[in-house]
Amino acid sequence: MSASGAHAAAVLPGATLGVMGGGQLGRMFVHAAQSLGYRTAVLDPDPASPAGLVSHHHVQTDYLDPAGLARLSELAQAITTEFENVPAPALRTLAAQRPVAPAGDAVAICQDRADEKAHFARAGVPCAPYAVIRDAETLAAVPDTLLPGILKTARMGYDGKGQARVSNRAELAAAWAAMGSVVCVLEQRLALQLELSVIVARGADGQCVHYPVQQNLHVAGILAVTQVPAPDVSPELAAQAVACAKSIAASMDYVGVLCVEFFVLDDGQGGQRLVANEMAPRPHNSGHYTIDACDVSQFELQVRAMTGLPLVQPRLHSPCRMLNLLGDLWFRAGPTEQTPDWAAVLALPGTHLHLYGKTSARAGRKMGHLTLTGPNAEAVQTTAAQAAACLGLVDC
């Protein structure tokens, strides 16, 4: 079933929407779908998955289980995914029965860094210089100009996992061996000015809307802070980033919400230039602020895109800053898990706390986020500093 054919008739509220994956993104999708009057079904093997716990139906099977996929197809009139590592073959199986957005082919591109970079080129969007390492011969053929670089596994890497910084050929060879000699991408290490992301939503009819450019700060490979409007991005660069993201989506005939992350570099002439880093075929951590700072959240746009409902250009109604809340916060006082002082945080004006319903905290685990809104960027920055002090956060 093609994307266009699948979405020829809108799937209206009252129907059941399915989502592959039961994490926090699925949970927020479920909330958005239910607020529009849809019923929901989640497929996830975890009996305590955050999305499964709040959904009308929880199909508790593996993502490739034929019986589970058949059951989800029976329950849902349209299906999406909440994370990019859902097996693309599962999405293709579902698409034979129901509209699936994004399509398995688009998700497959995002699952492989080599394919992803090749797609950036097809879309006319620059990325960091790179080489694909598949075997000893391609390892030996890596150009010297790519060192120092960052070695990344082609598949299954996220939040800084599956990556290693390498400065010379000896380190490169050792890192590749340590990763099991799997297919990898070596990227030239670039001097970054900053990082940003763009979230777009595209319908089967080709209509595409976008959110404002988001400026991001990563710590140890994990997103820590998102600011909107982006304080260090010119209107011209922002427009270029949006155009690039829309081109990437259109060249995949993409349907759904897509996030494209970019690096901003010095162009050598006192200006800035963009290179694409990676993309996610789903709502994104850097867009969680849209729930509280925009009139339409990224999760509502996901619902609209997959069901064929009209897409509207979202409006940012409040400047904001989003802080990622990792499991480390629960262990600030020692080895015993201790709940952070949410009362002190919520006493601050313009604070919006979102906890994901995960049963236990651990270092590096995304437990929630805090969005701070206010009348202007200065007020938001002040409140964010106060919230960070309450929680013991740094780099916020």
Whether 62 contacts 46, CB under 8 Å? no
What are the chain's domains?
A: 3-110 (3.40.50.20), 129-188 (3.30.1490.20), 192-391 (3.30.470.20)
**Closest Cα to residue 396, out of 318, 293, 324?**
324
Query: Which ranges constitute the DSSP H helices of 277-376?
Result: 290-293, 298-307, 342-346
**Closest Cα to residue 282, out of 20, 65, 31?**
20
Q: What does each of the 396 residues of the chain score in pLDDT, given as a tens digit?
A: 334 334 468 999 999 999 999 999 999 999 999 999 999 999 999 999 999 999 999 999 999 999 999 999 999 999 999 988 899 999 999 999 999 999 999 999 999 999 999 999 999 999 999 999 999 999 999 999 999 999 999 987 666 678 899 999 999 999 999 999 999 999 999 989 999 999 999 999 999 999 999 999 999 889 999 999 999 999 999 999 999 999 999 999 999 999 999 999 988 787 899 999 999 999 999 999 999 999 999 999 999 999 999 999 999 999 999 999 999 999 988 888 999 999 999 999 999 999 999 989 998 899 999 999 999 999 999 999 999 999 988 766
Distance between CA atoms of residues 295 and 208, nearest Å: 17
Query: What is the DSSP annotation of 154-189?
Result: SBS--TTTTEEEE-SHHHHHHHHHHTTT--EEEEE-
Other CB atoms within 10 A of residue 136 CB: 11
One-letter-per-residue 3-state SS of 309-323:
CCCCCCCECCCEEEE
- Residue 262 has what DSSP assignment? E
In terms of DSSP bridges, do strands 57-59 and 39-43 run parallel, antiparallel, or are they unpaired?
Answer: parallel
22, 82, 147 from 74: Cα distances, Å: 18, 19, 52
